[in-house]
Structures are given as C-alpha cells and as structure tokens.
Chain A
Amino acid sequence: MRLLLKRPVNGYRQSPVIFGIVMGLFAVGYQIFFHFEPPPAYAICTTCHSHDMIAWLVNNLTTIQWDVAPVGASAPLLTPVGLLVGAFLAARLHREVHLVCLGRRWHGLIWGLVVMNVGLALLGCPTRLVLLSAYGDKLAFLAVIGLIMGVGIGTFLMKKGMIG
C-alpha cells in the first residue's frame, strides 16, 4: 500500500482524483476481466453488496429465501466489510481512530434506513449511479440528476439554517 501511495505514510493525504481513477479502473476491470455480472456495472455498490451479503447469510442460515443478484448467489459480496477494514487500517496507521459522537445518533439510524430502502428500490448507492451512468444507463443518468437536485435542495436548506 505504501508503494502505491509513493509517499511517506505519516501525514499523507491521498488526492480524491487518484481515488476516483483507481475506483473507476477496478469497477470496470472487474466486470471485464472477472466477469463480475449480471447485473452490469455492479462491481461497486454499498447498498446492493450489503443487501447481497446479508441475504446470502439469511439464505444459508435460515429457511427464509431472499433474492440475491446472480453474481452474489454463490458467495457473499464482502465489499462493505472490506471498506470497514481498509478504512480502519488507514485510520489506525495515521492515528486517526477517535471515538467521537456528534450528538445525532438516532437521526443517523433513520437516515441509514431511508438510504438503504431508496437505494435498493432505485439502482443502488450514489457510487453505483455514477458507474451505471458511465456504463450508458439512461435511468441512472436521470437518477444522478435527481441526486444533484436533492443535494442542492439539502445544501440550500442547510445554508438557510433550516436543517442541521
């Protein structure tokens, strides 16, 4: 990992552009070289992969059967676990693990619940909406427009002090 970053680890901050390029290359590369489909453009999605991971567990541990994307039927998609582990490693290496509370825990619980439901009913999380748009999906493109509108409305309300 240090070789990848090509700089001393302490105090180093990675450029979001590098993150975007790496994520784009891997997201498409997985689909091309590892045939990570169907559905298409599915290599990165926190909502869908979280759902598939939990659904895989439910299907294998209980008598309940939930739908799973074909690519995640045989084995769990562990992207969310990887995200947590990778981010924890980075935070730990840079001494950035601090237990803090911003005082909006129960709000967070509700927002998480809403985002998961809307994400599953839509096409996925914002990351996958962008990936699907790059893939050429018109509806994902529309959803990204809706996302920008939603962020704009939210930011406007925040600016006016109507929401925290």
Chain B
Amino acid sequence: MHVAILTLSLGILLGYLAQRSRMCFVGGLRDFILVRDTELLKGMIAFFVTAWLVYSLAGIMGLVNWQPPQFVSLFVGHSPSETGASLIDRTYPISFEKSQELKGSQSAGSNVTLNAQLPYALAIIGGLILGLVSVLANGCPVRQHVLASQGVQDSFFYLLGFYLGIVVFHLVTRPLLALL
C-alpha cells in the first residue's frame, strides 16, 4: 500500500507545481518552434539533465543498475536484441508474451532483420504520432490533468477519452500489435 501513498503524494506535489508553472512537455517544444519562447523548454531540459545527472551519480555509486547511454550505437547498426533493449521487450503492457515471440522468431532465423528493426521504426513513428496528436490536443497528458483541475471542459473530455483508451487498448490495439 505504500506504493499508493508514494505515488499519490508525488502526484499532489507535481500537480501543484505543474499548475503554478504551466509546465507542458509538448507545449515547451511547440512554443519554441512557434514563437522561440524557451521558458517551458527550459523546464523539460532541466528535467532531463537532473534525471541524467542523478542516474549517472547513482550508477557510479552502484545504487542503480544504470548503463551510460550509447546513443552512437543507434547509428552504427546494433540491433535492439544485442543490447537487450527492444521496444517490444519494454513495450508496456504487452511485454512478456511478445518478447517470447520475438525471441522465438529470432531463433528461427527467418525474419530476424525485420523484427530487429521494427522497434526502431515503431519508436520513431509512435513518438511522431504522440507529438502530433498532443499538439492538436493543446498539451501533454500532465498538462491536460492540470487543465481539467482548473475547470477546462475540453480537458475533461480529453481525460474521458484518455481513460476510455485503456479499454480500447485491451480490446483493439493490443490484439493488433500482437500481429506484428
């Protein structure tokens, strides 16, 4: 039960700060591209840099199982399976059975290349759709929660769709993904 208390308390703190700062991850990028306003973008960069520094320190001290990012290897042909970081392995929540299927197909050797490259393509396409739709929706999910709390009716409906999406994911999207 302590997990529930931890997440609730963190949510309250972040909700408070997010409302006061108007923070939005998508809004930061949008404002920078649209009007060269860097205020929200600085928040996103501060989040990344802080997390990266703390992960690095914790990794050096042996507090967390952390490997230095090897972004260069993205561009020199390492397959996801070599690094154990396939999107399907980490895709949530279809992780377990799909990762088994992936391993099975790789051992068969027939379509190794296709499956090895698929997570890269899915990551970029998925990120692109997420970014495009979030611009259309006028903010990332965190911002939509904040706006709904402030009384913006459009965000109520966004959250309604957001939570209906969980059911749709289990009934439609997940079976479709299993076909890949």
> CB within 8 Å of B: which residues of A?
1, 5, 12-32, 34, 36, 39-40, 43-44, 46-51, 54-55, 66-69, 71-72, 74-91, 94, 96-127, 129-131, 133-156, 158-159, 163
Distance (Å) between the CB of A154 and the closest chain B CB?
Answer: 3
Closest 7 CB pairs of A and B: A82-B11, A150-B131, A86-B15, A146-B127, A16-B43, A116-B165, A24-B50
Chain B interface size, under 10 / 10 to 19 / 20 to 34 / 35 or more: 35 or more
Instruction: Report the bound CA distance from A69 to B95 in whole Å.
Output: 10
Number of A-B pairs, beta carbon distance below 8 Å: 468
Q: Can you show 9 pairs from A to B with CB atoms below 8 A apart?
A: A14-B20, A18-B17, A78-B7, A90-B16, A110-B161, A111-B133, A114-B161, A118-B133, A127-B140
Contact of B134 with A151 in the complex, beta carbons under 8 Å: yes
CB neighbours of A83 from chain B (8 A): 11-12, 14-15, 18, 142, 145-146, 149
Tell me, yes or no, whether B144 is within 8 Å of chain A by CB.
yes
Residues of chain B within 8 A of A131, CB atoms compared: 47, 51
Is chain B's binding surface mostly helix, strand, loop or mixed?
A: helix
- Contact in complex: A129, B55 (CB < 8 Å): no
Indicate if the CB atoms of B85 and A139 lie closer than 8 Å: yes
* A residues near B85, Cβ cutoff 8 Å: 137-139
> In the bound complex, do residue B12 and residue A86 qualify as a contact, i.e. CB atoms below 8 Å apart?
yes
Q: Is the CB of B80 within 8 A of A139?
A: yes
Are A122 and B91 closer than 8 Å at their CB atoms?
A: yes
B95: min CB distance to chain A, Å = 8
The answer on a CB contact under 8 Å between A155 and B30 is yes
- The reply to whether A100 and B4 form a contact with Cβ atoms under 8 Å apart is no
The reply to whether A78 and B4 contact each other, CB–CB distance below 8 Å, is: yes
Shortest Cβ distance from residue B105 to the other chain A in the assembled complex, whole angstroms: 18
B126/A115 in contact, CB under 8 A = no
CA gap between A89 and B77 in the complex, in Å: 50
